[in-house]
């Protein structure tokens, strides 16, 4: 059985486009305001135009690692308070963070975070450097690791990515600065994460990316991350598992 009781999916072969499109270079000239206009337009139409997604021909060694941390009941905000004020600046010295979220339903007190690596060697090297980081080990680990009940890791293969995600993947090795305690913990929007056997129909949401699980639980399942406006957060049809997420205000993807 797969995660939360649903069956493992058979491995699926997904055809990839023969022409590789690199949005990271093009998007570098687009201002954030223009990206926000794309988001609003897509949501107002009640759908996200598939033309805004790129079918990805990912190199055979590239890894997008989705991690899930289940925390002790009632301890998620305590963990995040330390992470955002005295933790994120240490981990992102070494690891390339794309997204960081807290679940709003489903598996409560769960954190998801997304980390891209060029290959397994890059991942091993980055994680080894973090393990040797004195600030991380003395300031963050003693306070927060005791709050974690269990951890899961999924190695993902990208299928379709939005220009926004492509841009972030091109500049992920940029340290994320810590927040002041007076700053907001969460961004104003909602995201969602779904696991399904095939591509899901989306209405009233912006698809940020689609991946397939290459290793971990539920190999072959399709993973979709979407952005929703407040008040319009409805799950898509055809999913076997779905959770609404609150992106952190410091998350590059929000």
Q: Where are the domains of the chain?
A: 3-247
pLDDT in tens, the chain (254 residues): 444 433 343 433 333 333 333 333 332 322 333 334 434 443 343 333 444 666 665 666 789 999 999 999 999 999 999 999 999 999 999 999 999 999 999 999 999 999 999 999 999 999 999 999 999 999 999 999 999 999 999 999 999 999 999 999 887 678 999 999 999 999 999 999 999 998 887 777 899 999 999 999 999 999 999 998 766 667 777 788 999 999 999 999 99
Instruction: Tell me which residue of 105, 242, 127, 104 sits closest to 185, measured CA to CA.
Output: 104
Quickly name the fold that domain 3-247 has.
Alpha-Beta Plaits (3.30.70)
- Do residues 147 and 79 make contact, with C-beta atoms less than 8 angstroms apart? yes
pTM of the model: 0.77
Strand partners, 224: 194, 210
């Amino acid at each position: 059985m797969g995660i939360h009781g649903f069956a493992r999916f058979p491995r699926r072969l997904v055809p990839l486009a023969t022409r590789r499109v690199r949005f990271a270079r093009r998007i570098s000239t687009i201002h954030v305001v223009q990206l926000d206009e794309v988001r609003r337009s897509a949501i107002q139409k009640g759908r996200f135009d598939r033309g805004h997604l790129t079918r990805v021909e990912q190199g055979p060694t590239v890894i997008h690692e989705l991690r899930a941390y289940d925390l002790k009941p009632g301890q998620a905000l305590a963990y995040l308070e330390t992470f955002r004020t005295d933790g994120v600046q240490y981990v992102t010295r070494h690891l390339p963070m794309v997204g960081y979220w807290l679940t709003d339903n489903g598996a409560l007190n769960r954190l998801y975070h997304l980390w891209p690596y060029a290959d397994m060697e890059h991942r091993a090297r980055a994680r080894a450097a973090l393990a040797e980081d004195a600030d991380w080990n003395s300031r963050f680990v003693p306070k927060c690791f005791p709050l974690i009940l269990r951890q899961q890791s999924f190695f993902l293969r990208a299928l379709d990515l939005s220009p926004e995600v492509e841009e972030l993947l091109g500049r992920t090795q940029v340290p994320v600065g810590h927040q002041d305690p007076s700053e907001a913990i969460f961004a104003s929007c909602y995201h969602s994460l779904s696991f399904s056997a095939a591509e899901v129909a989306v209405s009233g949401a912006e698809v940020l990316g689609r991946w397939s699980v290459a290793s971990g639980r539920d190999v072959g399942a399709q993973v979709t991350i979407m952005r929703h406006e407040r008040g319009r957060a409805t799950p898509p049809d055809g999913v076997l598992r779905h959770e609404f997420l609150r992106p952190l205000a410091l998350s590059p993807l929000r």
